[in-house]
């Protein structure tokens, strides 16, 4: 708890006021990742391999952008930093622990951008969400990775909707924002890699599935070249009798 409190406190002054409410969830994820690092290792390695696979045949390696860079556990950042002139990490919160790791690695061509990628505010203002409009301002853009972000948009938006007055947001908000992300990624004028969990299952000790849920709000995922299971909450993390398993794809 002490390390979590320190990470939270150190992140607070480095985060803009509008994004400070999200620091807690980032710190909680950081703490869980440390607790279940062994269970998450295969998922993280699969993500890194997928990104490198999509990047290996690029003719130009000027700027790469990582959307939802998070804890950097699922991103082969050091290899990307060596391969590209510039790597831009985009997320609502860049934890102090992540900034410290970056400083230790001495990666001068890695830049941090603090941004909400959900498109929620556009939709609330009555505009069509364009979560990637800012990428038009990125010079020499050759590669974009969406790193396990899409399902988190859906989960985060659902929580925000609970605090809205009735009728303040369209009834299909989650569906529209997930679609905007997937369509926006597809429309980018560069190579991309999408990593996303598409569903989760609650499984007991005997291997019986007790609950399943789609994480893409009914949207069919694009064709993938790889898929795997990710034990987001292995046995004992949330319950001594159940684990939560996510299905992940790479496209």
Number of H helices, E strands in the chain: 8, 8
pLDDT at 162: 82
Determine if residue 207 is left, alpha or beta; phi over 0 gives left, psi from -120 to 50 gives alpha, anything else beta.
left
Question: pLDDT tens, position by position, for the chain (251 residues)?
Answer: 889 999 999 999 999 999 999 999 999 999 999 999 999 999 999 999 999 999 999 999 999 999 999 999 999 999 999 999 999 999 999 999 999 999 999 999 999 999 999 998 888 888 889 999 999 888 899 999 999 999 988 888 888 888 888 877 888 999 999 999 999 999 999 999 999 999 999 999 998 999 999 999 999 999 999 999 999 999 999 999 999 999 999 99
Domains held by the chain: number: 1
pLDDT at 191: 96
User: Is 224 domain-assigned?
Assistant: no
Do strands 209-214 and 141-147 pair parallel, antiparallel, or not at all (unpaired)? Answer: unpaired
Rounded CA-CA distance 176/216 in Å is: 10
pLDDT at 152: 87
pLDDT at 91: 97
Joined tokens for residue 112: 């941090």
Structural domain containing residue 192: 2-44+54-196
Joined tokens for residue 249: 């794809």
User: Is 138 domain-assigned?
Assistant: yes
User: Is 67 domain-assigned?
Assistant: yes
Residue whose tokens read 């969400």? 129
Q: What is the CATH number of the domain that holds 87?
A: 3.40.50
User: Is 244 domain-assigned?
Assistant: no
User: Is 93 domain-assigned?
Assistant: yes
pLDDT at 170: 85
pLDDT at 225: 97
Provide the 3-class DSSP secondary structure of residue 5. helix
CB 13 within 8 A of CB 218: no
User: Is 85 domain-assigned?
Assistant: yes
User: Is 222 domain-assigned?
Assistant: no
User: Is 159 domain-assigned?
Assistant: yes
With b meaning 16 or more CB within 10 Å and e meaning fewer, what string describes 3-22?
A: eeeebbeebeeebeeebeee
pLDDT at 46: 98
């Amino acid at each position: 708890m002490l390390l979590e409190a320190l990470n939270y406190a150190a992140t607070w002054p480095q985060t803009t006021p509008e994004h400070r409410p999200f620091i807690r969830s980032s710190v909680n994820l950081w703490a869980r990742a440390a607790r279940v690092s062994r269970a998450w290792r295969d998922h993280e390695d699969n993500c890194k391999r997928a990104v490198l696979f999509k990047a290996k045949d690029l003719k130009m390696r000027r700027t790469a952008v990582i959307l939802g860079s998070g804890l950097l556990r699922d991103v082969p950042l050091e290899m990307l930093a060596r391969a590209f002139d510039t790597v831009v990490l985009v997320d609502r919160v860049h934890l102090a622990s992540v900034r410290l790791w970056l400083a230790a690695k001495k990666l001068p061509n890695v830049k941090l951008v603090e941004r909400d990628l959900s498109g929620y505010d556009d939709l609330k203002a009555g505009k069509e969400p364009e979560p990637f409009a800012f990428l038009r301002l990125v010079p020499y853009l050759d590669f974009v990775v969406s790193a396990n972000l899409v399902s988190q948009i859906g989960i985060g938006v659902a929580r925000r909707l609970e605090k809205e007055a009735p009728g303040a947001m369209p009834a299909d908000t989650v569906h529209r924002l997930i679609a905007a992300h997937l369509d926006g990624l597809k429309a980018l004028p560069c190579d991309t890699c999408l990593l996303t969990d598409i569903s989760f299952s609650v499984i007991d000790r005997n291997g019986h599935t007790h609950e399943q849920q789609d994480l893409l709000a009914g949207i069919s995922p694009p064709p993938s070249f790889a898929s795997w299971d990710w034990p987001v909450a292995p046995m004992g993390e949330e319950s001594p009798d159940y684990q939560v398993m996510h299905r992940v794809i790479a496209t």
